[in-house]
Structure 1
Amino acid sequence: ALAAVLVAASATAAGGALTRGEPFEPREHVTPPVVRVDATHPLPQLAVWAAEPDRELLVATGALPPRLSLVVLPDFDGATWRSGSSLRPVGAVASPSLPPGAEVGRMDATLELTGLASPALGTGTWLPTAGRPVSVTVPGALWDVETGSLVAPEGLAAGSVYRVTADVDQPAAATLATAGVPSGAEVARYLELPRIPADVLAYARTVTQHAPSRLVQARLIEETVRADRELAPDAVSGSSYARVREFLFAEPEQGGQVGTAEQFASSFAVLARAAGLPSRLVLGFVLPEPATDGSVVVRGEDAHVWPEVYLAGAGWVAFDPSPAASGTAADRATDALDLATDGELEPPDPAAVPAPEESGDAEPVPGPPDAVPGPRAALLVTMAVVAVLASVVVLAGVSAVLRARRLRRLRRHGAVGAWQHVEDVLVLAGVALPPGAD
């Protein structure tokens, strides 16, 4: 019965499209199934890759972005970051809640998983990609519409080769410099900070309080997290509030100021959310320079985790507070950021940052009131204002007409009408008449 209904609905839609002379795309009229895959994200695998920096993981050729993502982690519960993937078949017609940026490039590459899919260094079902996958030659591949993460439910063997095309946000400096943050339920997921410690919230406010734009806010957080802190692949792992506070505030002999790329990225993302910047983590690979034959060999030392911030009109923008970011091929991706914030970065004086105390819980607060409402929200606000003004005008007109009619009636009643008119005037003036005054 369900199949018959779907066929009938498709036939009706097709008939209407043909009648209007429009091309018919059947996938737009059938909601594709959402598949949930129990795929554990490989964030703990970062330490394994770091322990074998020279181990070859994959070889890439073709049109490549500066970074390949393995899994995107948008959800934070105060203890860990999660993927929360709701997966659909690649090619299904679907759009993410937050729209892509206005300027987009195309990745078209062939990837050979020379070591990435081995039992010792594998990633389970996750596949390297970038941005929003458009097509992939892996049979049965699925993707998360919201994050772009790509999954092969059956897994891939070492040595597997596949081709992937994807759209990647590539915002220009002018777009970044003026970009705001959208409002509404669509961004709530990327601002969640349950039970955020009060000192972390105060730290974020201090770092960003004088920033002239959302982009500068993000760059200030990036510079502040990086400053005077040491990257150590063998440091204590973890992304919980307790680990973030230790990393940011404790002395080195107490485990502070030293961390893995996970702590640098997670601290940035938490502070960004506290400042009202939608953020998420990405585990993947920073691509080295290509070889003479154009191929890019990715090794264990290239595995990395970094934060991304969503800016209206720009899309998801990668940042990297890790000291390892300096001098790598990923610098190619920060050219637009540097141009957009040239001369505007003034990291706060560390002495002005509030000293951590016994931290109570505090609810996250919205960022500065420069959020850019979506078109629908702006239209609803405008309609509401117009409706209120129209109501005021109508009520004022009706009131004036009723008062004029009453005045004419009172004039026809002589002295009695005159006294009632005086009573009306006194009531409107807020003067209470004594009992028996009439």
Structure 2
Amino acid sequence: MSPGPARFVRQLLLGLLAAAATIVTLQSWRDFTVRPDDLVDPALVAAAALLATGTALRLLPLPAVVVAALQLVVAGLLVVVLVGGSFPSPGAAEETVDRIRAALEVAQVQPPPVPLDGGGIRALLVVGAVLFLWIADTVAATFRTGPALGLPLLAAFSLPVTILRTGAPWWVFAVAALLYVAVLALHEADDLGRWGRRVVARRPGGPDGAADTLPGPPVAGTAVAVTAVGLALVAPLAVPVLDLGLLDRAGLRGGAGSAVVLRDPAADLQGDLTRGDDVELLAITTDDPGAAPPSYLRIGGLNEFDVDEQQWRPGGGDERALDEARLQLPEGARNGDPRVTWNIRATDAFSSSWLPTPTNLTDIYADSGWRYRPAGDDFTRDDGRTTAGQSWETTEVLPSFTRQDLDAAGQDYPARLAPFLEAPGVDPRIAELAASIVAGATTPADQAAELQAFFRDRDEFRYDLQVSSSSDDSLTEFLFDTRAGYCQHFASAMAVMARELGIPARVAVGFLTPELIAPGRWELSAHDLHAWPELYFPGIGWVRYEPTPGQRASATPGYSAPDPSGPGATSGTDRPTPTSRPTTNAPTSGPTSAPPSSTAPADGDQGAADGRGGADGFRPAVVLSVVGATVGVLGLLVLLLAPRRIRERQRRRRRALGVEGAWDELRATLIDHRVPWPPHRSPADTARTLVEDWETERAERAEAGTPAGIDGTALAPLERLVTRLELARYAPPAAGPGADADEAWSDAQAVADARTAGRGGARRARWLPASVVVDSRERRRTGDAGLGPDGHATTAPAVDGGSDEEELARR
């Protein structure tokens, strides 16, 4: 059975509070994923859609079980839209199931935080959010069992405690608890009112100036609720507890353990390269089916050369918290350059305090313990945690430039790059060797290309992981004696020589191109660890070079060929080979066009095309538009149907009240047609005022002459109705209303028809009945459900215009 107006409003408020409490509670899931903020929009969309459809369904005369079942269907459609990213259809449903199944597999093998998209758990979290929102709306608003709302909220809170062994932030618990208390207060308003004293207020204008008792806030009850929430927050601090958990996160990191440990990128690199066994370290996925392999993933940047230790080190400089390191568009990148989003997961075998990321980042989502180091464009931490078992997500822009752009960059280096030109204490012969190699080169780009070609000459150098140094100056020994080494030797030597030539340089440590496992999925292992130099060009930024011979790195970037017209040079077009996407089979010989799906729009549209979700992922603009339009249509239907439905229910209830109901219905009908109804009057005085207003209106509407009075046949039903109402109030028949009720309703209908004839506004009165608002406002003002809609009690009305006996005498 459909609810009355007061119950309907209460159900709506219960639904709003329950949805708000659930959304706040879902914030306790933030540690499950590297991008928790991206779950807020789907949760808000689902909450709005479920509340709107639930409100519309609860207006209909349907059993609560049917409403809950229909709401479950709506929840299923929401899952298809939010997870499948398209309109509900058999194909979309199948895609949704596949994504949920994939998310379950990811959740079983990856410890949190896990990426959302591209092999992440977004589908699982969205399904959970929709399910909890449906339960909350059904429990609190449909079945109106407010106290039971605590069970789903407790279940949602328990998930991170059980799996992550971390509780929700205090503010999440506090806000959710207060919203839950508000649900209880609304649901049990009468019982809560007994917790404390009621507020007594005098309403001016009441009969005889009597004081009216208005229901005030449950003062003591509110104090109890706030105190309970405060104790729930403070008490655990003083209670000793055992450090137990159902699932130990440390247990998830068994297996290989720390097969590859990386604390100092330079010092640990050789040991990891020569350890013998190949070990899987990173898994990389993307939703962009046309993305090139994510080659040259950076672990750290080394910007200081220690001549005593003959080693490159991470230099000093400021560090920033991860949430302060949302990166700007990299220097040299253009708004139209393609972007791609990578989801990266480290295995338990890779324990690094440095976070591997692609070059030229525009965004990153990872554990908040990581800190950004601008000097090396890298991310590190010193709190004891490592990459082992972690997942993170990055968005990379692929800047495009030509060899001509490098030649035209010049040497106007910013002052902040002065430390990148220092090479104190190195053997003077290194500067002489560098000058002889680049003799004839006219630009820093030409010089860099000549240096790279020098090291890659197999007649001059060979790649050897087993080489060892017999002197304290390994760099000089490498350049002038052994001419053999591994990637770190080649990268270090080229960076030092570039500095000696006046070109800012540093060394980067990371990975080569990964192995393709499946479309959109790659794998990096210990044998892919690598080092290379990066040189700076004004207006373009840091540019990668590859001096390590082809036995290790078979390709060089297209812009780095010694002769611009040679086989490896770019063609000079506007879209040459991206700096971070060289192939590994042959030198790049021309521009590489990015797939359309990864092309980025202008800055203002970056979020829509930064690769998140890909072609098959969650499209916020599309989904929000579809769901927003649906919610808007449903909301409009509710606004159109609610007043009429409420008015019809009022009419049915009044029918059961006999003569009193007929009188109230006459009042409501006249108010709906905008006919004034005098408040706080006796029935006779009300009838007299109605007749006077009627005569005045007829006079104003007369076109000419003296208007005729009201036809007596129209006044007779009003007189009979007033007489029956007075007799029913002061001399009610013992047998009940009987036939008088039917006759009273006939008279009330006749008066209403006669009074509203010719006034117009019948459609407005039907769809926008003003009496619904007036009655609701009157009930709030009086604060007493026992009063009738005109402010009189149904048994002994208060009279402002004289007693009914006096009115009868006057009549």
Q: Using a 3 Å threshold, how does the CA distance of structure 1 residues 113 and 94 change in structure 2: closer, same or farther?
A: closer
State the Cα RMSD in Å: 3.0
Residue of structure 2 in register with 1:61 after alignment: 285
Residue of structure 2 in register with 1:263 after alignment: 489
SS of match in other structure, 1:270: helix
Q: Using a 3 Å threshold, how does the CA distance of structure 1 residues 243 and 326 change in structure 2: closer, same or farther?
A: closer
State the shift of 1:236 in Å.
1.9
> What code does the residue aligned with 1:67 have?
Y
Q: Across the two proteins, how many residue pairs are aligned to each other?
A: 292
The two structures have a TM-score, normalised by structure 1, of 0.60
> What code does the residue aligned with 1:272 have?
A
Q: Please say if 1:298 is aligned against 2:521.
A: no
SS of match in other structure, 1:291: strand
Q: Please say if 1:180 is aligned against 2:410.
A: yes
Q: Please say if 1:171 is aligned against 2:397.
A: no
> What code does the residue aligned with 2:418 have?
A
Q: Using a 3 Å threshold, how does the CA distance of structure 1 residues 144 and 105 change in structure 2: closer, same or farther?
A: farther
Q: Using a 3 Å threshold, how does the CA distance of structure 1 residues 189 and 105 change in structure 2: closer, same or farther?
A: farther
State the shift of 1:59 in Å.
0.9
State the shift of 1:280 in Å.
0.2
> What code does the residue aligned with 2:392 have?
Y
Q: Please say if 1:341 is aligned against 2:564.
A: yes
Greater relative contact order (CA < 8 Å, ≥ 6 in sequence): 1
Give CA deviations for 1:322-364 in whole Å, capped at 9, x if unaligned: 1147764xx3x7123349733499xxxxxxxxxxxxxxxxxxx
Give CA deviations for 1:217-255 in whole Å, capped at 9, x if unaligned: 0011111123221111121269x98211111111xxxxx
Q: Using a 3 Å threshold, how does the CA distance of structure 1 residues 59 and 127 change in structure 2: closer, same or farther?
A: same
Name which of 282, 302, 306 aligns with 2:508.
Answer: 282
State the shift of 1:81 in Å.
1.3
SS of match in other structure, 1:43: helix
Q: Please say if 1:323 is aligned against 2:549.
A: yes
Contact 2:282 2:524 in 1 (8 A): yes
Name which of 126, 133, 141 aligns with 2:370.
Answer: 141
State the shift of 1:304 in Å.
0.4
Name which of 355, 359, 368 aligns with 1:127.
Answer: 355
SS of match in other structure, 1:215: helix
Q: Using a 3 Å threshold, how does the CA distance of structure 1 residues 282 and 237 change in structure 2: closer, same or farther?
A: farther
State the shift of 1:177 in Å.
3.5
State the shift of 1:112 in Å.
1.1
SS of match in other structure, 1:194: coil
CA distance in 2, matches of 1:224, 1:211: 13
Residue of structure 2 in register with 1:356 after alignment: none
Give CA deviations for 1:235-282 in whole Å, capped at 9, x if unaligned: 1269x98211111111xxxxx111121111111011111111110000
CA distance in 2, matches of 1:219, 1:301: 27
Q: Which has the larger radius of gyration?
A: 2
Give CA deviations for 1:31-64 in whole Å, capped at 9, x if unaligned: xxxxxxxx95222322232223521111111256
Q: Using a 3 Å threshold, how does the CA distance of structure 1 residues 76 and 99 change in structure 2: closer, same or farther?
A: farther
Name which of 407, 423, 440 aligns with 1:193.
Answer: 423
SS of match in other structure, 2:297: strand
Q: Using a 3 Å threshold, how does the CA distance of structure 1 residues 295 and 72 change in structure 2: closer, same or farther?
A: same
State the shift of 1:92 in Å.
1.8
Q: Please say if 1:71 is aligned against 2:300.
A: yes
CA distance in 2, matches of 1:211, 1:115: 48
**Higher fraction of helix:** 2
SS of match in other structure, 1:210: coil
Contact 1:91 1:135 in 2 (8 A): no
Q: Using a 3 Å threshold, how does the CA distance of structure 1 residues 208 and 326 change in structure 2: closer, same or farther?
A: same
Contact 2:266 2:313 in 1 (8 A): no
Q: Please say if 1:232 is aligned against 2:458.
A: no
Q: Which stretches in structure 2 are left out of the alignment for 5+ residues?
A: 1-261, 569-811
CA distance in 1, matches of 2:343, 2:327: 25
CA distance in 2, matches of 1:316, 1:237: 30
CA distance in 2, matches of 1:102, 1:246: 39
Q: Using a 3 Å threshold, how does the CA distance of structure 1 residues 249 and 93 change in structure 2: closer, same or farther?
A: closer
Contact 1:237 1:259 in 2 (8 A): no
SS of match in other structure, 2:468: coil
Contact 1:226 1:264 in 2 (8 A): no
State the shift of 1:184 in Å.
4.6
Q: Using a 3 Å threshold, how does the CA distance of structure 1 residues 116 and 276 change in structure 2: closer, same or farther?
A: farther
Contact 2:546 2:553 in 1 (8 A): no
Contact 2:498 2:505 in 1 (8 A): yes
Q: Please say if 1:114 is aligned against 2:347.
A: yes
Residue of structure 1 in register with 2:48 after alignment: none
State the shift of 1:115 in Å.
4.5
The two structures have a TM-score, normalised by structure 2, of 0.33
State the shift of 1:179 in Å.
2.3
Identity percentage over the alignment?
A: 27
Q: Using a 3 Å threshold, how does the CA distance of structure 1 residues 116 and 210 change in structure 2: closer, same or farther?
A: farther
Q: Using a 3 Å threshold, how does the CA distance of structure 1 residues 268 and 116 change in structure 2: closer, same or farther?
A: farther
Q: Using a 3 Å threshold, how does the CA distance of structure 1 residues 297 and 224 change in structure 2: closer, same or farther?
A: same
Residue of structure 2 in register with 1:101 after alignment: 332
State the shift of 1:307 in Å.
0.3
Q: Please say if 1:249 is aligned against 2:249.
A: no
